[in-house]
Structure 1
Amino acid sequence: MKVSARADYALRAVAELARAGAPRTTSELAASQGIPRKFLEGILTALRDDRLVVGQRGIGGGYRLTRPASEITLADVVRAVDGPLIFVRGERPSGLEYEGAAAELLTIWVAVRASIRAVLERVTVADLAAGELPEEIRILVEDQAAWEDAQTNLSGE
């Protein structure tokens, strides 16, 4: 699985907006998180189109969240910039069919989507900005294996 730069940057930007509590300009957001400004502009447009942020012009203007950060999940943000959480060959898992020895692959892809949703829909932007992740998320990363690349484990490095 790969997380796009758009999703990573979008999550970082909304966390900054949540923590700021006041409108932040594109330049301020870009500088605070080391995000290329032009790239961030496109991300903020997608977030605005999905009604997660709103922009205000003029003195004291900038972007702000449209609702409390506690009501916006990380899944909301990722979907706004990247679309559905899981695609297989450009299709939603529910639209796929497999036969023979690969028949259960559909079940696997749906389970992967459910696992990702279980994390991203459980964590809010407020949780992220405050550094107070839900306990069930913290438990997932307690096992050292969660931090290791599977290739590293297989090669014995």
Structure 2
Amino acid sequence: MRAALELAARQDGEPLKAEAIALAQDIPHKFLEGILGDMRRGGLVTSRRGGQGGYRLARPADAITVADVIRTVDGPIMTVRGERPTHLAYTGPAAPLLPLWIAARAHVRAIVDVVTLADIAADALPDGVRALAEDPEAWVNP
């Protein structure tokens, strides 16, 4: 996510070298190369080789959501024991777990499907997202 945001913040048309992204975001270069490769294969970034090469977003930052980046780099938005909630089945007293997991996924998607890289880069989170984050209980780890 931080690499995508670094690219979003610097959408001036010039590609950004992986080394510059790694340094700016304190991400190990080798690890970052893997992430950038995932984002390139997923159509989120383009790359160009050579002295004037580097990476840039493949679409405008306001057309790339947080969910796009998560799905491209990490896979499904939410899993339970490595499975998508829709692939699970429970019986007996555990049966209500399935709608719980589906509801939790829907709640997360309601946020990450609407927040764009441009929103974050401009520190302009949607009001509903900002309100959730401003709730003091949101910061408590029980």
Q: CA deviation at 1:147?
A: 0.9
Aligned-partner SS, 2:47: strand
Instruction: Work out the number of aligned pairs and report it.
Output: 140
| 2:73 aligned to which of 70, 81, 87 | 81
Q: TM-score, normalised by structure 2?
A: 0.95
**Larger deviation: 141-150 or 40-49?**
141-150
CA RMSD of aligned residues (A): 0.8
- Distance across 2 between alignment mates of 1:17 and 1:147: 28
1:92 aligned to which of 84, 87, 109: 84
Identify the match of residue 17 of structure 1 among 7, 11, 18. 7
**Structure 1, unaligned runs of 5 or more:** 1-10, 151-157
Q: Which runs of 5+ in 2 are unaligned?
A: none
Q: CA deviation at 1:130?
A: 1.0
Q: What TM-score do the two structures reach when normalised by structure 1?
A: 0.87
User: In structure 2, what is the Cα distance between the partners aligned to 1:59 and 1:132?
Assistant: 34
Once the two structures are superposed, residues 95-143 of structure 1 have per-residue CA deviations (whole angstroms, 9 ceiling, x without a partner) of 1111111110000100111111111111001111111111110010121
**Residue number in structure 2 paired with 1:111:** 103
Please give the alpha-carbon distance, in whole angstroms, between the structure 2 residues aligned to 1:89 and 1:18.
33
Q: Deviation per CA, 1:46-105, whole angstroms, max 9, x where unpaired?
A: 000000001011232100000101000000000001111111122111111111111100
Instruction: Give 1:128's aligned residue.
Output: 120
Q: 4+ residue stretches of structure 1 with deviation over 3 A?
A: none
